[in-house]
Amino acid sequence: MHRRVHHEYNATCQGCVPEAIVCALEADSYEDAIRNAISLGGDADTLAAITGSIAEAMFGIPGELIDSANGHLRPELLVVADEFYSKMLA
């Protein structure tokens, strides 16, 4: 997906969620979904966060991205993230 000429910035739930769903559905991978969201511009961080949640359910998160992100977390936050995922995957 490339930046859409007809896309209009809309930070409301009604504006972001449908766009995030489309970004995930049009993707071939987790990273592709995130790129789709960012390419829309506007409230790209919100779009990417919502899209990422949907794409995680569809594709999973690549291990190298998890490892890279974990490298930026303080140890106490890494514990919280690990506990969250262990409960979610149980």
Give the HSE-up count for residue 34: Cα atoms under 13 Å, Cβ half-sphere. 13
- 89 sits in which H/E element: none
Per-residue pLDDT of 16-61, as tens digits, reads: 898 999 999 999 999 999 999 999 888 889 999 999 999 999 999 9
Domain identity same for 44 and 24: yes
Number of domains in the chain: 2
Structure token digits, residue 64: 């190298």
Task: Identify the pLDDT of residue 16.
Answer: 83
The yes-or-no verdict on residue 5 having pLDDT over 70 is no
Banded model confidence at residue 13, pLDDT cuts 50, 70, 90: confident
Q: What is the DSSP letter of 42?
A: S
**Secondary structure class of 30 (helix, strand, coil):** helix
Task: Identify the pLDDT of residue 15.
Answer: 72
Task: Identify the pLDDT of residue 7.
Answer: 60
Domain identity same for 21 and 3: yes
Banded model confidence at residue 1, pLDDT cuts 50, 70, 90: very low
Domain identity same for 30 and 10: yes
Task: Identify the pLDDT of residue 66.
Answer: 93
Q: Which residues contact 46 (CB under 8 A, 6 or more apart)?
A: 11, 16
Give residue 12's domain range. 1-59
Domain identity same for 1 and 18: yes
Q: Which residues contact 3 (CB under 8 A, 6 or more apart)?
A: 39, 40, 41
